[in-house]
Structure 1
């Protein structure tokens, strides 16, 4: 593999699947993080402990579980989506969900501690309380999304298991780097590595900038 168009396709696919997984994870994890903030006492601690523990689950284990579920003999085998970009997205959603939930909780916790009593007085419905809390903590939620995207796009183990690293179909940057290195095509591997590092660096800079802006606004307030 050395065609520039193929490398471009690999980069585009990597960004697409990771972005899709992060957006889906955000749609689920951000409300979950806000909802956990609205709980009281032991319930809050239990849910937070569960998602914090899920952060430590090896990603290859996630890939194995998704593989078993989507294989022909698995309960979801009828979907016939194993070794497709959709399978990669599913694995990355599971990987990013605890990240987004925990970081969203951190973003919302300060707002809830400061404004929670007022929110409870003004808003009866729990889902509307969570919506308002997320609106107040939106800068922190952006940080949660960027961290999740950075983790998703750099993932290799689970992606290799459920995607199969199929040329022109499920080959993303991390799996392509692994393959090209094994085959001795170091020029291609290094090129993809530079692109991956550049994307990761950009995500890191954006995360730092959002965190810095949020800190400045908090200090000003």
Structure 2
């Protein structure tokens, strides 16, 4: 019991005194996750909106596929990205394997289906409700996309925060693609896994505290955005 208490005390010291190695891991984790979520939003918001309003053969299969990919196992996503970025893969010449950029690609692959699917659902519901009105104002389906995205912004922000939550807590994909290299590709989740196995509970607990606070902040943010959306709608 004393060892556990000592570990918690040491973990608190790492957090409060801003240990450089500790901060480096936290900063890399945030940088990779934020970049992945931003990339997923840039791609997923317009793509999801277009999928919501477009009608073409195979659309149903695409909708089902992206919905299924929301539950894509991280290790599978990591394996696919690893094969693409490996020396024998089609993108091997770029040298992105075991780099933060490669980790961003892996996390983007996990977050993108979430953002795209939620966007498609939100925009499709809004388009069904406002299509007649928008067309009466002379707006085509394509020109209505920015309006629909803005009108559904609260639900879309909640979806983006959900993607951020998944990316920040992910282990398998970044471990496969990044390699968990100290000072280069070691994130909070991979460091927690490694340091727990080594018995370095202080560092593992310190990173766990930060990750827990980050997850709590994301959930609070999603809750506040949802409440704001309900007030605006009301």
**Superposition TM-score tier, normalisation by shorter sequence:** over 0.9
How many residues are paired up?
217
- What's 1:186 paired with? 201
Distance 1:84 1:120 in 2: 48
1:80-107 deviations in Å (ceiling 9; x for gaps):
1100000000001110000001111233
Shift of 1:55: 1.4
- What's 1:49 paired with? 64
Matches within 5 A, 1:13-92: 13-40=28-55, 44-92=59-107
**Please, what is the CA RMSD of the aligned residues?**
1.7
**Bigger shift: residues 160-169 or 135-144:** 135-144
For structure 2, the residue ranges without an aligned partner over 5 or more in a row are 1-13
Shift of 1:35: 1.3
Shift of 1:36: 1.9
Whether 2:228 is the aligned partner of 1:205: answer no
For the 8 Å contact 1:37–1:44, the answer to whether it is kept is no
- What's 2:169 paired with? 154
Matches within 5 A, 1:119-130: 119-121=134-136, 122-124=138-140, 126=142, 128-130=143-145
For the 8 Å contact 2:53–2:141, the answer to whether it is kept is no
Give the structure with higher Rg (CA).
2
Distance 1:43 1:131 in 2: 24
Q: Normalized against structure 2, the TM-score is what?
A: 0.87
Partner secondary structure for residue 170 of structure 2:
coil
- What's 2:124 paired with? 109
Q: Normalized against structure 1, the TM-score is what?
A: 0.92
Are residues 216 and 125 of structure 1, via their aligned partners in 2, closer, same or farther at CA, if it must alter by over 3 Å? closer
Q: Which residue of 155, 163, 175 corresponds with 2:178? A: 163
